Amino acid sequence: MPSLASMSQDTMHSQNAALSGGRLKQPHLASDHGIATSGIQLPQALPSLLARGLTPQDMLRVNAARPTFVTLEPGQSLYYQGDDCNNIYLLLDGWAFRHQILEDGRRQILDFALPGVVFGLPGTGIMTHSLETLTGCTFSVFTRERLFDLMRDVPALGFRLLEIMAAAEARAFEHLTSVGRRTAKERVAHLLLELVTRASQTPAMPRDGSMTLPLMLPHIADALGLTSETVCRALSSMRKDKIATLRGQKLDILDLKRLAHAAGVDLMADFRHGTNGETLRLAS
Amino acid sequence: MPSLASMSQDTMHSQNAALSGGRLKQPHLASDHGIATSGIQLPQALPSLLARGLTPQDMLRVNAARPTFVTLEPGQSLYYQGDDCNNIYLLLDGWAFRHQILEDGRRQILDFALPGVVFGLPGTGIMTHSLETLTGCTFSVFTRERLFDLMRDVPALGFRLLEIMAAAEARAFEHLTSVGRRTAKERVAHLLLELVTRASQTPAMPRDGSMTLPLMLPHIADALGLTSETVCRALSSMRKDKIATLRGQKLDILDLKRLAHAAGVDLMADFRHGTNGETLRLAS
DNA sequence: CGTCCGATTGACAGCTATCAATAAGAGTGG
DNA sequence: CCACTCTTATTGATAGCTGTCAATCGGACG
């Protein structure tokens, strides 16, 4: 139970969310009729995100399973920590994040979800975290049973999902290393680097050094195990050093090389394949 | 920003590993003849760990794929950060851990692997972390291709692997929350709680409050983003409070309830299903 | 009994959190 | 178009937790 004092910063945003829409007891299931959001034709979007490694025939079968779609406004939650959830979700469009909250209000953001991310997988069914949108979002939904059937029909799908989960695990591990062993400034630099890299790999997102981050300082802080003040100081410092500027939601990378250096990362290695130059050499 | 000085503690263990066996260019592939380690008949062990949800027929097919086995001594590495790895591993017996190392030697332990854990999955092939054993370990190995074939033959296997990966992700998330938002003492308590819980769920491990942890202080420290001194202080405090004692490798839980309290966790919720009492109530 | 490695404890420094005040924008309404 | 309000960002001062450095303890082993 957050003492009001400690809530004031860290949980500000979730308060907003709770006020401005918050929990959906029954998510808005848009069911089978195809819904278009922010200009995207969903039945087309799904393949492009999932399809690597699947044949066109496979994708036909996947679409034949008639996934349902959910659309959410910014600041709404798809599910909450503690919910009994037996669906698997694919984020088609928009930004969201997954987070855990301790009883006293401390919040940890676990992962930023960009289009193509899969979550809500099997397990016990009880969710250990919540998912909240940052922008308007569209999700594709499969029930556990439908997924199981689908995986039988389309073996490559299971393999692809494993790949996606493995990538998510790798992200979580990088994140963990950041929070556990990097300084505040390094963490901020590392997160910016991760986000620009992921965004640039997402279709229909910018490839140059400028982009829109639908985040507030407390999001970054809660992702990195810091306070928003510390994040602000780190960003100020990077602005002063002409490495990157983040004003409002506009992020400009001014010097990618030095950003990577500030993040304590070998750009070529870590953000292409995920490895550390130094350690790599030991392994050769 | 640790330089050589600070490496002395954090990376001590990996140095030892390097000296005492270290890298295996070509892991000891024990190939198809079944190998027995520490008294376990492997072909039997594999099913029991993987089989939930699979029919006996399914398991026959899995075994027919003739996985190879690898055995490692304590302190050896199955693979290193930067390795090109196209195998999937199942830990059959023993304890191990996965970790990442930054160029300057800072180390983050990402996950403790107990029997039943799966890793080394697809992705790009380049490993972003290393795996090092704590005890003697036996692994079951499938190549990427063999796994793919197997998943086609045994659809339930893919589903089971997804479940295992989802559980690993949930663990990583809990871990992240710990490192990001809990105090030193809470982190230590939380880790002990996680380990006793997992061990008690593993066949052939004790269910009472006493067990052997094949860890040294620096392992705990590097898992939690702390120093070994801080971990030591936290353990001393818990020993003084009669919550738990860890001497050498012998862990005794004296008061599970207060241990959970010290970890800032609702025992019934978090460690049965993974949820937080307070937030859960919101969701009902 | 001596050596060695890891654990333990103490003193102190430093990074980040906390508390507090101000600035900067974005809307809103007159 | 400007004043007003509200929210978020920014900056400063101080406190506290944890890291760092260093010394001692303790058990394992030969």
Which of these ranges, B46-50, B85-89, B111-115, has the smallest mean pLDDT?
Answer: B46-50
Q: Measured between beta carbons, which residues in chain A are less than 8 angstroms from residue B6?
A: none
More confident residue, A216 or A57: A216
Distance (Å) from CA B16 to C1' C4? 15
What count of other Cβ atoms lies within 10 Å of the Cβ of residue B130? 25
| Tens of pLDDT, residues B127-179 | 999 999 999 999 999 998 888 899 888 888 998 999 999 999 999 999 999 99
Task: Mark yes or no for CB contact A159/B122 under 8 Å.
Answer: yes
Contact B278, B229 (CB under 8 A): no
| Tens of pLDDT, residues B181-218 | 999 999 999 999 999 999 988 776 666 778 999 999 99
- The residues that bridge with B71 in the sheet, in sequence order, are B138
Is the CB of residue B34 less than 8 Å away from at least one CB of chain A?
Answer: no
Parallel/antiparallel/unpaired status of strands A130-133 and A250-253: unpaired
| Tens of pLDDT, residues B15-38 | 333 333 334 333 433 333 333 344
Residue A79 has pLDDT above 80, yes or no: yes
Which of these ranges, A4-8, A146-150, B161-165, has the smallest mean pLDDT?
Answer: A4-8
Distance (Å) from CA B79 to C1' C12? 40
Nearest to B81 among A82, A264, A279 (CB): A279
Rounded Cα distance between B158 and B201, Å, is 22
Rounded Cα distance between A63 and B280, Å, is 34
Q: What pLDDT sits at residue A171?
A: 96
Q: What pLDDT sits at residue A184?
A: 98
User: Helices marked H in B115-154 — which ranges?
Assistant: 144-153
What count of other Cβ atoms lies within 10 Å of the Cβ of residue B263? 24
Residue A139 has pLDDT above 70, yes or no: yes
Q: Domains in chain A, please, with CATH?
A: 4-171 (2.60.120.10), 182-283 (1.10.10.10)
Nucleotide nearest to A180 (CA to C1'): D18
Q: What pLDDT sits at residue A113?
A: 97
For tokens 């499938």, the residue is B142
Q: Which residue of B has its CA nearest to A83?
A: B283
Rounded Cα distance between A241 and B126, Å, is 33
Which of these ranges, A226-230, A273-277, B104-108, has the smallest mean pLDDT?
Answer: A273-277
Contact B74, B135 (CB under 8 A): yes
Band of pLDDT at residue B6, cut at 50, 70 and 90: very low
Residue A107 exposure: Cα atoms within 13 Å on the Cβ side: 29
Counting residues of chain A whose pLDDT is more than 90, the rounded percentage is 54
Residue B219 has pLDDT above 80, yes or no: yes
Task: Mark yes or no for CB contact B121/A183 under 8 Å.
Answer: no
Band of pLDDT at residue B273, cut at 50, 70 and 90: very low
Residue A14 has pLDDT above 70, yes or no: no
Pick from A106, A279, A120: which is nearest to B176 by CA? A106
Band of pLDDT at residue A33, cut at 50, 70 and 90: very low
**Amino acid type, B247:** R
- Using only C-alpha atoms, chain A has a radius of gyration, in whole angstroms, of 19
Task: Mark yes or no for CB contact A163/B108 under 8 Å.
Answer: no
Q: What pLDDT sits at residue B252?
A: 95
Residue B24 burial class via C-beta count within 10 angstroms: exposed 0-12, middle 13-18, buried 19 and up: middle
Residue A1 has pLDDT above 90, yes or no: no
Average pLDDT score over chain A: 80
Q: Which of B52, B161, B173, B220 to mutate to test the interface with A (most CBs of A within 10 A)?
A: B173
Task: Mark yes or no for CB contact A163/B276 under 8 Å.
Answer: no
Rounded Cα distance between A51 and A34, Å, is 19
Parallel/antiparallel/unpaired status of strands A87-93 and A118-119: antiparallel
Q: Residues near chain C (nucleic strand), Cβ < 7 A?
A: A 5-6, 9, 183-185, 225-227, 229-230, 247-248; B 12, 16, 216-218, 228-229, 232-233, 235-236, 247
Contact A232, A26 (CB under 8 A): no
Tokens encoding A109:
């953001």
| Tens of pLDDT, residues A257-271 | 999 999 988 766 666
Average pLDDT score over chain B: 80
Q: What pLDDT sits at residue B173?
A: 97
Rounded Cα distance between A171 and A177, Å, is 10
Residue B214 burial class via C-beta count within 10 angstroms: exposed 0-12, middle 13-18, buried 19 and up: middle
